[in-house]
Amino acid sequence: MISNNELKYIQSFAHKKHWAEETVYIIEGPKLLEEALKANCAIEKIYATSAWLDQQDLLGVPVETVDEVMLARMSQLNTPNQVIALVNKQQAVLAPFDKTFTLLLDGIQDPGNLGTIIRTADWFGIQQIIVTSDTASTYNPKVIQSTMGSCFRVMVEVADLETVLANNKLPVLGALLTGETVYKTPLPAIGFMLIGNESKGIRENLKQFITNPIAIPKFGGAESLNAAVATGILLSHWRNR
């Protein structure tokens, strides 16, 4: 039976200070756990209902059976979903920049946006993302949930983007309102795509590195596009180059 201290520990993952400093992070629901196991993530412990556990083969993974009432007390979701697990954080291992295409995120602060961007990147075969320190954390439970498992396949690393770009003479696609239409601009197979903050766009110190300013043409009356939606449109055209 789960102790009060263990319950409080799980509940503490609702707070940034806790999930930012811990060596593990929390995931919820059968889908995320299935994806974590497929990706060979190191699972520290699983908390699940007996009904769910009876249908699983989890050899070698520490398991704690909890009832639905306890699961609801542990969960951060409005509707708890059968299983919660603690997963060990892993260091991102990035491929050489001159061998792949890398997404760069400058200050994406909304957890839902970041999670959706990671999921979208996974859909289009992007395997690595570099983010600024003021971007939402990939270990934020809201980010993890919104990736729908893509967080286990896409490497995300925090770094100084100015340093990264200054040290790599590769094409840099930059999403700018003043850029050339993405419908007509040739897009390189190798290089970077830089996406700016939801409201402020790309920082001035990074604009000097953009070699290919690109934009999504506007045809209607909307003032702006959601950052995750814009990223999806741009990656779709990049993949179809």
Whether residue 8 has pLDDT greater than 80: yes
Over residues 75-103, the mean pLDDT reads 93
User: What residues have CB less than 8 Å from 189, skipping those under 6 apart?
Assistant: 101, 241
Distance CA 86, CA 122 (A): 23
For 71-88, the pLDDT digits (tens) are 999 998 988 899 999 999
Give the mean pLDDT of the chain: 94
Q: Is the pTM of this model over 0.75?
A: yes
Helices (H), 85-181: 111-123, 141-147, 161-166
Give the bridge partners for 83, in sequence order: 48
Whether residue 241 has pLDDT greater than 80: no
Domains annotated for the chain, with CATH where assigned, are: 4-88 (3.30.1330.30), 97-239 (3.40.1280.10)
For 140-153, the pLDDT digits (tens) are 999 999 999 999 99
Backbone angles phi, psi at 205, to 5 degrees: -70, -15
In the block, tokens 């075969």 appear at 125
pLDDT at position 238: 95
For 153-189, the pLDDT digits (tens) are 999 999 999 999 999 999 999 999 889 999 998 899 9
For the record, the structure tokens of 131 come out as 């983010």
Sheet with 83-88, strands from edge to edge, namely 24-28, 83-88, 43-48, 63-65
Distance CA 175, CA 197 (A): 10
Model confidence at 95, pLDDT cuts 50, 70, 90, reads very high
